[in-house]
Structure 1
Amino acid sequence: MGSPDPGAFASHAQVPPDMIPFLMMLPMLVPAGVKRGRSSKARREGGLSPVPSPTEESGSAPPVRASSRRRLPAQVLGQRALNRALLQRQWLLQRSRAGVMEALEHLVGLQAQATHPPYGALWTRLNGFQQEALTRLMTERQVVRAGMMRGTLHLVTARDCLALRPVLQPALDRGLKHSSHGKQLAGVEVQALVAEGRALLEARPSPRGELGQRLQERWPGHDASALSLGFSSLEPLVTVPPCGTWGHGERMVYATAESWLGQRFEPAAPPDALVMRYLAAFGPASAKDLQAWSGLPRMGAVLERLRPELRAFRDEHGVELFDIPNARRPDPDTPAPVRFLSEFDSVLLAHADRTRIISDAARKRVFTINGIVRATILVDGFVRGTWRIERARGTATLCITPFARLSREDRAALSDEGGRLLAFAASDGQHADIRFERVG
């Protein structure tokens, strides 16, 4: 396995230029004739993974039917109550003893626009996580990196790739009508594009640019990038290791999910189980939160249908929130340890209203105009600054930039946790150092 590259955990160094259009594009339309859904194996196993069983770490529980319960006035959950519930379910109050597969399914995947952030996301949530554990599962095809929620690259288990992608397809459907790439595909017969792209990738997995050039040989009057992006929305693709694994570059090579996993997709399931799993990992949440995370429209109607199985709350602004009845919602005064979140961490992207973990002012400093989500520090459960690792003259330096003055206790806690982060992310014999920069 290669050693970490010089830009490990530095967001701008990890995102290749040719990925930005893919990240920023609107999801694309999939005509009914080429939609696919769950694999036969997934259907035999019950389709979408069930809501995780209650555990000490996850603080989640399966739903209970409440159809006979009288409608009571909704309890109001303040910002800190929502924060502590989110941290509990994201295993950010206490690291979990779960394995990688269990973690990925509980968290409903991890954002994976760049190589190293999913590794960091697991390190900050799991006891004793090592890079090799995830790399091995990716190499063994038990975990894949694929376009999932919002058409964005996520790291998911093979089972969830097969089960979730079809449920999410309506979000991709809606996007093509409005995307420039979709308009450039006018005159291209969709099923022919899918068949040609499949044949090319099944013969030889390829980078997106090369795939576009090869497709352009069939449709010379059309833009190569539009052809490859269109095909990648019509056909679920995965990146082929070693790309996407720790210490390797970002030159992504794609294969079709079906050929890589050796299983075919079948018609999609309703989104009900997906909603329950989202709430187990990110709830309580509103319909707009669910839509922002999944990209799926009309989630209000789904939540209304599931209302008998859910518990309703309201936030301080009167917005209705839904949750699994037996899920743990810690006391708002529960202590929260400092945490280091990697770039693109899902916990910052899973809600329409993200103030439960990041203020609007901090969000402007973390989310960049070119689609980067910077690595952040959590202090008392909220984003209070950013961090990066710099390498120079044999030293790996963890640079912490707080947004406001930190207490002596918080600086000490960040130093202790930062030392553990450096041991994980820069364990290649370099001298390790930690630097607190001026308040930004």
Structure 2
Amino acid sequence: MTVLDVRALNRATLARQMLLDRSHASTLDAVAHLCGLQAQEPQEPFVGLWSRLRDFTPETLSDLLVQRRVVRLHLMRRTVHLVTADDALAWRGRHDAMLRQRVLGVYRDELAGVDLEELAAAGRVVMADGEPRTMPEIAREVADRWPGVGTRALGEMLLAALIPVVQLPPRGLWRQKGGARAALLSSWLGREPDPPSENGSDPAGEALVRRYLAAFGPATSTDLRTWCGVAGLPKAVSALRDELVSFRDERGRELLDLPDAPRPDPDTPAPVRFLPAFDNAILGYHDRTRIIDDEHRGLSVAGERVVLVDGRVAATWTTDGGTVQVTPLHPLAAADRAEIAEEGQSLAKFVSDGETTNVHITS
């Protein structure tokens, strides 16, 4: 079985993630291909798409949210993701059990003795009037039925797990602020989420596997589970075995992939790229060494924005008064600093709406 080293996996990841060459894909097609973008920080997906698409304008993504073609909801790993409307409807039901378990993992003691089906029914009655609600608002409306249970626990369980909802604009729109107000997914999109599969088949799970590999492969089954948080996918992987190809990494672990997916030459040059906080190019794997050194792994879960140099995390970045501030994680060659400065100027222009191209790279 062919062994793929870290550099080969890095270049495959960059190609799948539209980070090796900026793509001509539409914004909607890019969101679909990437299986959504992690979006608990509402402005971060704009930078993620700017780094991946040619001629990206933030208004295109805002328009998709207003037009209800893209939505924000709790999905993979119980984090807020920006996904297409079609994927929200197809995937939300497949994540139900995981969402419940993850909320219970935080509030198990507070929710002990609460009948979750009864809580879900009460929440649906409240949401049926079509009025958007925040988590505290819906919690207060059902709290009298569960005295002694914290409203935070009730709200999280209802709107992050039990009831399929979306977060409404203006939250998530470019340069706009707004609290997280939720409406029923079915009401917002005019269609009920796809129901669970029957007869032991798992078409939703199989679709998740294919889509994940298209955007993140080659990858292990553990990487797949880390990305989505969903248990029970081994059956879907088994069902797809005949249409997948296998490799090994340098530790001997099996890597699965789609046969015709891009796996560029490991020596393919990789440009500097600025990634937003919580980018799935890093978080979409259990073993993240293909793109970030283990000593810096904590940056990806701490919400640090990072800079890729030769395809790997080499610096962090922030903005301050329109200036992009870059802090290297190790000494950089002069050529790399020059490329960071050039790409950083373009980023500064983007985030400041064309008002500045200032970049500062610390020593």
TM-score range (shorter-chain normalised) is over 0.9
Name 1:374's counterpart in structure 2.
Answer: 304
Matched, 1:310 2:244: yes
Aligned pair partner of 1:286 in 182, 203, 220? 220
For 1:358, what is the secondary structure of its paired residue?
coil
Name 2:195's counterpart in structure 1.
Answer: 267
Structure 2 unaligned residues grouped into runs of 5+ = none
Give the drift of 1:124: 0.5
Name 2:56's counterpart in structure 1.
Answer: 129
The 1:428–1:211 alpha-carbon spacing in structure 2 relative to 1, beyond 3 Å, is farther
- Separation in 2, partners of 1:374, 1:180: 24
Name 2:82's counterpart in structure 1.
Answer: 155
Name 2:287's counterpart in structure 1.
Answer: 353
Matched, 1:436 2:361: yes
For 2:248, what is the secondary structure of its paired residue?
strand
Give the drift of 1:209: 1.8
Amino acid at match of 2:168: V
Aligned pair partner of 1:167 in 82, 89, 94? 94
Aligned pair partner of 1:144 in 68, 71, 76? 71
Give the drift of 1:173: 4.4
* Residue identity (%): 43
**Superposition TM-score, scaled by structure 2 size:** 0.93
Task: For residues 152-204 of structure 1, give each alpha carbon's deviation from its aligned partner in whole angstroms, at most 9, with x where no partner exists.
Answer: 1100011100001112223224435x524244234434333223322333432
- Separation in 1, partners of 2:323, 2:31: 29
Return the structure number with greater relative CO, CA threshold 8 A, min gap 6.
Answer: 1
Tell me, yes or no, if the aligned pair for 1:243 and 1:251 is still in contact at 8 Å. Answer: yes
Tell me, yes or no, if the aligned pair for 1:215 and 1:228 is still in contact at 8 Å. Answer: no
Name 1:409's counterpart in structure 2.
Answer: 335
Aligned pair partner of 1:107 in 23, 29, 34? 34
Name 1:39's counterpart in structure 2.
Answer: none
Q: Over the residues paired in the alignment, what is the CA RMSD in angstroms?
A: 1.7
Name 2:120's counterpart in structure 1.
Answer: 194
For 2:324, what is the secondary structure of its paired residue?
strand
- Separation in 1, partners of 2:271, 2:317: 17
For 1:246, what is the secondary structure of its paired residue?
coil
Task: For residues 34-93 of structure 1, give each alpha carbon's deviation from its aligned partner in whole angstroms, at most 9, with x where no partner exists.
Answer: xxxxxxxxxxxxxxxxxxxxxxxxxxxxxxxxxxxxxxxx10000000000000011101
Aligned residues: 355
- Separation in 2, partners of 1:380, 1:180: 39
Give the drift of 1:357: 0.4
- Separation in 2, partners of 1:308, 1:432: 51
- Separation in 2, partners of 1:201, 1:302: 34
- Separation in 1, partners of 2:118, 2:296: 47
Structure 1 unaligned residues grouped into runs of 5+ = 1-73
**Superposition TM-score, scaled by structure 1 size:** 0.77
- Separation in 1, partners of 2:276, 2:112: 40
- Separation in 1, partners of 2:106, 2:270: 45
For 1:77, what is the secondary structure of its paired residue?
coil
Tell me, yes or no, if the aligned pair for 2:19 and 2:273 is still in contact at 8 Å. Answer: yes
